[in-house]
Amino acid sequence: MSKIVFFDIDGTLLDHDKNLPASTKEAITLLKENGVFVAIATGRAPFMFENLRKELDIDSFVSFNGQYVVFENEPIYKNPLNSQKIEELYFKAKEKGHPVVFMNHMTMKASVKHHAYIEESLGGLKFAHPDHDDAFYVDRDLYQTLLFCEEGVEDFYRETYPDFTLIRWHPYSVDILPAGGSKAEGIKKMIERLGFKPEDVYAFGDGLNDFEMLKAAGTGVAMGNAVPELKEHANLVTRDVDDDGIWYGLKELKLI
């Protein structure tokens, strides 16, 4: 295989209703037939896109925005959160009335029994409110934690906890990652394993958490529905995900 393409999930592989467009599924099949290695690079946890991996027959992925990388069903890189610092952040968030959701590669647990912000943001990904376990972080590797607060509030946490990178993905929710963690770091681990040159690496994305990934790839593609900042730094802007964006972009790049 001479080339590799990484795809984000939400707003890239999946449309605005979280469905997989038929043209995207066909495009992925053609890519593989053309000898292109296909991988997923997402902010989601592995358990959150298992069905999609099965449907597309993809078994290599970068998850948790780069913190947990799997190559052909085998983990090749793990970068958990600092457990002491996440405990400190959790108690500060609890004091301020901001719930969190702890995540490992298997499941997720909420620090509270119920909160509207958790329900609304995870509901947008078609996930139910997680079960309550406020001690889930104890003696367990966590690769991402979700903080739930209004826009701008995360600045306090960003300044107070330099061990973490915070990326907002929803009006009510922020990803908490190890400092410097990004999809780009996860992609580097994958392409090192496969021996690809940077110019043979392509990446498709639409959100702020795709910024480093598109810069790290030889060719970065922003979806038509991408945030403006991402489009400015992309090598190619394809159509909206709802307008056969993946198919069109791969055609433009002559990969299918």
Query: At 241, is the pLDDT very low, low, confident or very high (cuts 50, 70, 90)?
Result: very high
Q: Which domain holds residue 48?
A: 3-78+181-252
Catalytically annotated residue among 8, 15, 175, 210 = 8
**Contact assessment for residue 95 and residue 111, using Cβ atoms and an 8 Å cutoff:** no
Residues 173 and 132 in one domain: yes
* Count of domains forming the chain: 2
The residue written with tokens 């609890």 in the block is 94
107-124 residue pLDDT tens: 999 999 999 999 999 999
Residue 208: pLDDT over 90: no
Residues 69 and 107 in one domain: no
**Contact assessment for residue 183 and residue 213, using Cβ atoms and an 8 Å cutoff:** yes
Report how far residue 225's alpha carbon sits from residue 217's, in angstroms, rounded to the nearest whole number: 20
Residues 168 and 100 in one domain: yes
Q: What is the mean pLDDT of residues 123-143?
A: 96
Residue 98: pLDDT over 90: yes
Q: Does residue 8 carry a catalytic annotation?
A: yes
pLDDT at 209: 87
Strands 164-170 and 108-110: unpaired
Average pLDDT, the chain: 96
Q: Which 3 state secondary structure label does DSSP give 188?
A: helix
Residues 70 and 121 in one domain: no
Residue 1: pLDDT over 80: no
**What is the C-alpha R_g of the chain?**
18
Residues 60 and 89 in one domain: no
Q: What is the CATH number of the domain that holds 216?
A: 3.40.50.1000
0.85 surpassed by pTM = yes
Residues 62 and 87 in one domain: no
DSSP 234: -
DSSP 131: P
- Token pair in block for residue 84: 């002491």
pLDDT at 134: 96
**Contact assessment for residue 212 and residue 184, using Cβ atoms and an 8 Å cutoff:** yes
Percent of the chain with pLDDT over 90: 93
Residue 218: pLDDT over 90: yes
- Domain boundary, last residue among 162, 178, 194: 178
Q: What is the mean pLDDT of residues 173-179?
A: 95
Q: What is the CATH number of the domain that holds 91?
A: 3.30.1240.10
Residues 153 and 230 in one domain: no
